[in-house]
A = this chain, B = another copy of it.
Amino acid sequence: MTQENAQALNKVLVAGEWRDANAEGSFQAFNPTSGEKLADAYPVSSWQDCDAALTAAVEAFVSMQSLSREVIADFIEKYAARIEANSQVLVDMANLETGLAKTPRLADVEIPRTVSQLRQAATAAREASWTTPTIDSQSNIRSMLQAIGPVAVFGPNNFPFAFGSISGGDFAAAIAAGNPVIAKAHPSHPGTTRIFAEQAKLAADEAGLPAAAIQLIYAMSNESGLKLVSDSRIAATGFTGSRPAGLALKKAAEEAGKLIYLELSSVNPVVVLEGAINDRAAAIAEEFAGSCTMAAGQLCTKPGLLIVPTGEAGDALVSDIAARFNSGPVGSLLSPQSAEHIAATASELVSNGATMLTEQTSEDSARFCHANTLMSVSASSFISNSETFQREMFGNASLIVRAESTTQTVELIGLFEGNLTGCIYSSESGSDDKDYDLIEPALRQKVGRMINDKMPTGVAVSAAMNHGGPFPSSGHPGFTAVGMPCAVKRFAALKCFDAVRPHRLPEVLADKNPDGNIWRQIDGQWTQADVAK
């Protein structure tokens, strides 16, 4: 790159300072609603930037191990307050870069969710029960979860705030556990990520975090990405994004013995039983169509697969849904490739026997978009070609599968890959309960969250949430990416203290419960009490 270009690029946040990237390229984001490239240019960092960030993160980690929990909690809360104070500029930038509506989506849903999630993470950091202190007083063996080391976070394109690489759930969880974070921005919203990083850096300095506790790189080559997640200095990675990219990172990380938590793809099957259709077909059609087309369907938990019984009632439900797809608003897609990807997948499904149920009109517009797309296929076709028919279409496109019997439904569920969610709609009268009992055990094996009578698109930030599931919906089915304090545990290592002298124990493992609030398991009992003398 020429010096002139380099000077025009945004700076990266590495080793505690905003500095010129060692760039091997540059990129600009798009305005999806116009299809135009935005003016700001961002660097594609060379390995040199990654290397510097890794070294600085290791140093930061050493300092963070002796920080009080309060400092980390204080940072997260100061940062949350700064996000609230800067919400208008964040909303404006994210709207420009993603086309997502300013209201209600960005300002009224995603900002509050992001801030609340950070505050829950701050509470977890301060309260420390997430460390699950376990004390065997007889043997004087004590264990707890502790920070694991530098964590890399790759955020997705679809939630610029709540899943953002330096503002979302993985970031909040990793820092709450006491780890430095190297955030890698999603190239679809670098400006939004920059504003977050600026506020995070100010909050970190105010709270007294070490200089490199939070770092930001906008982009890097695929090769550098693979090196980053497998580097000896990294402890773990959180990745939310496309399946091919995620699988490549997973392979590199795991071959090096490194942890990587992934959220890759999910079609979130919804099964509608006969009685539910008879009870409330119109409501189901409305919920499904709304859930598929909201945010142009670009949600991890969009219901991409609806199983509807064959027969007249099912036919009517399908027609109603198709009509709603045709008449509903067509949202903007996040990237220039999205529409093409939906069209190509839909075309492959049709060529394999699916029926297109919606009008595939194309707008006379440069914005990124694709007609709301609904297809249907028989369960027998699905069963004979299940890999093709369960391919995720990330956007406003879904597939309806028409099942002839409960037995056939169970058979096709047996062919599913792992999913984040599975949902069953059934009659309030109990008339579907026999079918439910046959279908639920099969479906539950394939999903992380089993839902009744509502669409999966709402993902509460709750300690009981599971935003995870069997592979490939996530990389480890024992963990959730959403929900505090449970998501924090992903970025921690189990540490045992065996016959360690009392004055050397971590505070939370001492006989005395430091502030009387930490839940600890002492001799098999959960308690907030001290260890009995």
Contact surface of A with B, Cβ cutoff 8 Å = 62, 65-66, 134-136, 139, 141-143, 145-146, 148-149, 250-251, 254-255, 257-259, 418, 421, 436, 440-441, 444-445, 448-454, 460, 462-466, 468-472, 475-480, 486, 489-490, 492-501, 504, 519, 521, 524-527
Contacts and interface: CB of A to CB of B under 8 A. Distances in A.
Contact of A142 (B464, B495, B501): B464
Nearest to A264: B257
A512 to B, nearest CB: 17
Given A259-B477, A498-B451, A460 B526 contact: no
Contact of A493 (B143, B478, B525): B478
Contacts of A527: 526
B444 A499 contact: no
A498 B449 contact: yes
B139 A460 contact: yes
B450 A495 contact: yes
A130 to B, nearest CB: 11
Given A142-B464, A444-B495, A469-B493, 9 more contacts: A139-B462, A145-B478, A452-B498, A454-B499, A465-B498, A478-B489, A478-B490, A478-B493, A526-B526
Q: Which of A452, A463, A527 gathers most chain B CB within 10 Å? A: A463
Contacts of A440: 504
Contacts of A466: 143, 494-496
Contacts of A489: 478
Contact of A448 (B259, B495, B499): B495
B498 A62 contact: no
Nearest to A523: B463
23 contacts: A134-B486, A135-B464, A136-B462, A136-B463, A139-B460, A141-B460, A257-B471, A257-B472, A448-B495, A449-B497, A450-B495, A450-B500, A452-B498, A452-B501, A454-B498, A463-B524, A465-B498, A466-B494, A469-B493, A470-B493, A478-B489, A478-B494, A526-B526
